[in-house]
A and B are shown apart, each in its own frame.
Chain A
Amino acid sequence: MKPDKINELYFSDVNEPIVYDRRKFIKKLGKGIIVIFSLSELSLLQSYAQNSTATDELDFNAYLRVKEDGRVNCYTGKIEMGQGIITSLAQAIAEELEIPLNSVDMIMGDTDLCPYDAGTWGSLTTRFADPIIRAAAAEAREVLIELTAEKLNVSKEDLIAEEGKVFVKNDKSKSVSYAELTKGQKIVRGLTKKPETKKSKDFKIIGKPVKSSDAIAKVTGKAKYSGDVKLTGMVYATVVRPTVFGSKKLNIDASGLEAFKDVELIEDGDLVAVVHPDPEITNKATRKVKVSWEAPQAKANNETIFQYLEDTVKENKVFIEEGNLEVGRQNSSKILKANYHDGYVAHAPIETHTATCYFENDKLTMWASTQTPFGTREQLSKEFDMPLENVHIKQIFLGGGFGGKIYNEQAIEAAKIAKSCGKPVQLVWSRREEFMFDRYRPAALMKAASGVDSNGKLNLWEFDIYCAGTRGTKLFYDVPNNRTRIFNQDDIHQFSTGAWRAPGNNSTTFARESHIDVTAHAVGIDPLEFRLNNMKNENMFATLKLAADTFDWNREKKDGHGYGIALGEDAGTLVAIIAEVYVDKTTGIVETKKVVCAQDMGQVVNPHGATVQTEGGITMGLGYALYENMEFDGGKIKNRNFNRYEITKFSTSSKIECVFIDKMDSKPQGGGEPAIICVGGAIANAVFDACGARVHQMPITPERILKAIQEG
């Protein structure tokens, strides 16, 4: 899947799994019991409709293999970047197969071994990969029981699987281990009917808190990332970059390279790179290559960008319209209008974009920090006009992704360089490159208008969104007359933009939840009460109640402290956040004292993992809410390292409490992204509550707070 297509889906609500076809590769998997699904069989697994028309019986994917030693391989095209699916997917397998969690080996993101996957983004894994993997494990359990029935000559109904063995129910002295059953076998099993998965009351592993299974590898330095791969004869590459994004190469003077032995210059269109077996020499030599660039004209800077977007973007379409806006206006005693601004923010994963690769004959092998191994394969196959199966992306850990590692420019650069110099290559983007070529969260402008009657009933909601997409903007409030429009224009931004953890939803949730607070205050109703009174979605009602009870909304406020609520919906999960801040009115500095987050995410597969993800999302969210302030003039990005781009640090993180609605029998929903969307709105509302400053622009900096206090 192309990054552009992902972007389109990523900025909207994805409510179906994304499934593509796949070639056969069973031979590579070795012996044991292998559970495969063809695409047509996949529709048996769940209520999700599959849009695929594929009927080819050979067009299948393998999801797991019970090996001859009784251990189980789980194959998934998903990758692990800290979100914890290496643990939670193993829980689903262990649960259904009745094996200890540590008997599961996760084979992730390897394009030669794993089923096709559109990428690890959009909080899709637990929603759509988990049910498939669980069904495969349930099917494998059935096969093991059938084999035992034959072996012991007893009926299937008299057998039960437990602890990696199949037992005779009323005579536990009789049992056969999975290893004995699979020894020397090669059984490939498809689906003929939907396998019977376990009921939540019988869960032993799903729903239990489990710590990260990759933690020991990570605390000992043994966990491998794509820059930790060293190949024989490998050279280190550095790309010569312009200072302004979008610059075109005019000419190049590489005479400075003569002083360096064994340095090679690579030129491929606008790509200019230097390689050498020693990265120190590569870096020194790169600085001696002089390229003159033609930079594009700057159209806006960080001060003027919002006016520029409003003046320039005219193309729009209605996303949702209900009732009649004019009636809404007439039925409102107060109408409130405001514009909300949200700046560009960087992904800033601690691991920069990296790729290590080599060509051998007509085959390309690569380790890449990518959230989309199959997408990378497709991009490379197109770039070099190679068949898909000649490109192999290998399993590797990612040092953070957050939506920024779905574009794979570094992978294409590394492969171009490797092809050109004929040697294995490692390319590690510098932090400066990471800041320059990041796909920033786009700056966004939201124009909101609300109408409310004297009883505090919302009658009107008008929402014009510039550049933030529609993800999560379907109203859960009951507003009979409403319209949401989306304004967008291709190539409006002066550097790359893209998907940033819950794309667009951070910006729109900040705007909506700020404006709901403004409206509540305008009619003198408590923001919690106002939200509950106007709530349409009963699950959101319950989630907000849980947050308010956990936070103890009515508890006494200390001097200078404020409480703020924000609600939002993302990746199928409902989020309610309540924040407590202290604002120093003389300096405008905000201290986040406490954040409570309640979520309805359906079945919580790993409550511990979900908690860690939520804490992480909130901590990262404090960055965009309060600190991450990108400065630029046209394509010249001024924040080029962490010394000029402030993310949340130890001292600015907050106490966090996470609570979940208990729904073990429901489908699991997203967990990686949702919580972050409510941080901006909750902080903005808490700041207002603390000091009366209504800040309409994120980040909510001390300067903006002081200005808002002054303007009172």
Chain B
Amino acid sequence: MYKMKQSISFKLNGQLVSLSVNGDESLLTVIRTYLDQTGTKYGCGIGECGACTVLFDNKPERACMISIEDVEGSEIVTIEGLSSNEVLHPIQKAFVELDALQCGFCTPGMIMNAYGLINRNANLTREDIIDGMEENLCRCGSYNRIIDAIQLAAKEMNEKI
């Protein structure tokens, strides 16, 4: 039943972490339970809701669908790694400014997915945002505000570049 333990190393929010694992644990469990970064949320366990979205080598991925052995040598960024020195990232700032959240449970996943989206395409249209965000669910119904926040953040990030 038990596989041999293996050692896995990867970067989490800029810090190198090493841990001993079976290998088939989900990245979500590793981040939340083993490494105590609880900003990333469990919502469905099958990659359908997006609450656990993190950046995996700069691409947004569902942490619940990734086995930890596939993370070896990679770079993972979670919501906790987005702001530096208490300064909010432009996407976080835009979410606050437009109040693009209610219960906040889907928010970390929304922000991480938006980050990946803006990374891929700095000139997002409203349709691009809807397409790119479509698989992230918000039961409180803040979609319109989230779209506006992403547009606002993309604009600010573009101006910086």
Binding site for B on A (CB under 8 A): 81-84, 211-212, 214-225, 227-228, 230, 236, 259-261, 278-280, 347-352, 397-402, 428, 430-431, 608, 612-613, 615-620, 641-643, 647-651, 653, 655-656
Say whether B92 contacts A219, CB under 8 Å: yes
Q: How far is the CB of A223 from chain B (nearest CB, A)?
A: 5
Q: Whole-angstrom distance between the alpha carbons of A346 and B76 in the complex?
A: 34
Structural contact, A279 and B99, CB atoms closer than 8 A: no
The interface bits of chain B over 67-103 (1 if a CB of A lies within 8 angstroms of the residue's CB, else 0) are 0000000000011101100001000100111010111
Complex: A83 Cα to B142 Cα, angstroms: 12
Chain A interface mostly: loop
Q: How far apart are A469's CB and chain B's nearest CB, in angstroms? A: 23
> Interface residues of B toward A: which range?
35 or more
By the criterion CB–CB under 8 Å, are B143 and A650 in contact? yes
* B105:A351 contact, CB within 8 angstroms: yes
Query: Assuming A221-B40, A431-B44, A642-B44, is B105 touching A400 (CB within 8 A)?
Result: yes
Question: Judging by beta carbons under 8 Å apart, are A212 and B99 in contact?
Answer: yes
Contact of A656 with B144 at beta-carbon distance under 8 Å, contacts A219-B111, A399-B41, A400-B103 already known: yes
CB distance from B144 to the nearest CB of A (A): 6
Q: Contacts A81-B103, A216-B88 given: A351-B29 contact, CB under 8 Å?
A: no
Query: Which of B42, B79, B137, B140 sits near A642, CB closer than 8 Å?
Result: B137
Q: How would residues 33 to 55 of chain B score, 1 for a CB under 8 Å from any chain A CB and 0 otherwise?
A: 10011111111111011010000
Q: A220-B79, A221-B80, A641-B46 are in contact. Are A620 and B140 (CB under 8 A)?
A: yes
Which 3 A-B pairs give the minimum distances between C-beta atoms? A221-B39, A619-B141, A399-B105
Q: B55: shortest Cβ distance to chain A, in Å?
A: 13
- Residue pair A221, B103 in contact (C-beta under 8 Å): no
Name 14 extra pairs, CB < 8 A, besides A211-B99, A642-B46. Answer: A84-B102, A212-B102, A220-B79, A221-B39, A225-B105, A350-B105, A400-B103, A616-B141, A618-B141, A619-B143, A620-B140, A642-B137, A651-B130, A653-B143
A-B contact pairs, 12 of them (CB 8 A): A82-B104, A212-B101, A215-B99, A219-B108, A219-B111, A220-B80, A221-B37, A236-B33, A619-B142, A620-B140, A650-B143, A653-B143
Flag if B48 contacts A643 (CB, 8 Å). Answer: yes
Q: Report A-chain residues with C-beta under 8 Å of the C-beta of B140.
A: 82, 400, 616, 620
A351 engages B143 (CB within 8 Å): no
Partner among B33, B83, B96, B101 whose Cβ is within 8 Å of the Cβ of A278? B33
Main secondary structure of the interface of B (DSSP, over half): loop
Expressed in whole angstroms, the minimum distance between the Cβ of A606 and any Cβ of chain B is 11
B152 at the interface (CB under 8 A from A): no
- List residues of chain B with CB under 8 Å of any chain A CB: 1-2, 22, 24-26, 29, 33, 36-46, 48-49, 51, 78-80, 82-83, 88, 92, 95-97, 99, 101-108, 111, 129-131, 133-134, 136-147
Given contacts A219-B111, A649-B137, are A612 and B104 in contact (CB under 8 A)? no
A280:B139 contact, CB within 8 angstroms: no
Interface centre among A211, A218, A222, A655 (most CB of B within 10 A): A218
B102 to chain A: closest residue by CB: A82
Chain B nearest Cβ from A230, distance in angstroms? 6
Residues in chain A near residue B105, CB distance under 8 A: 225, 349-351, 399-400
A283, chain B: closest CB distance, angstroms:
9
Bound-state Cα–Cα, A441 to B99, Å: 29
Report which residue of B102, B106, B130 has the largest number of chain A beta carbons within 10 angstroms of its beta carbon.
B102
With A and B bound together, what is the CA distance between A655 and B140 in angstroms?
16
Bound state CA distance, A655 and B95, in angstroms?
A: 18
Minimum CB–CB distance from A435 to chain B (whole Å) comes to: 10
Report the bound CA distance from A647 to B79 in whole Å: 25
**Would A612 and B44 count as touching, CB distance under 8 A?**
no
Q: Complex: how many Å from CA A279 to CA B25?
A: 9
Nearest CB in chain A: distance from B23 CB, A: 11
- Closest A residue to B40 by beta carbon equals A221
Name the residue on A nearest B106 (C-beta).
Answer: A350
Query: A651 CA to B147 CA in the complex, in Å?
Result: 11
A220, A608, A616: the one within 8 Å of B92 (CB): A220
Q: Which A-chain residue is minimally distant from B92 (CB atoms)? A: A219
CB distance from B160 to the nearest CB of A (A): 19
Using Cβ atoms and an 8 Å threshold, which residues of chain B touch A348?
139
Complex contact B46–A643 (CB within 8 A): yes
- Alpha-carbon separation in the docked complex, A653 to B148 (Å): 13
